Amino acid sequence: MGLKWIDSRDLAIELSEQFPDVDPKTVLFTDLREWILALDDFDDDPKHCGEKVLEAVQQCWIEEMD
pLDDT surpasses 90 at 66: no
**Domain 8-65 is of which CATH architecture?**
Orthogonal Bundle (1.10)
pLDDT surpasses 80 at 20: yes
What is the predicted pLDDT for the residue at 65?
87
What is the predicted pLDDT for the residue at 47?
94
Helix (H) or strand (E) holding 15, with range, is helix 8-18
What is the predicted pLDDT for the residue at 1?
74
Quote the CA–CA distance of 34 and 31 in Å, as a whole number.
5
Please list, in sequence order, all residues whose beta carbon lies within 8 angstroms of the beta carbon of residue 23, skipping any fewer than 6 positions away.
Answer: 65
Distances (CA, A) of 14 to 9, 19, 59, 60: 9, 9, 14, 11
pLDDT in tens, 25-59: 999 999 999 999 999 999 999 999 999 999 999 99
Domain edges within the chain: 8-65
- Enter the pTM of the model: 0.94
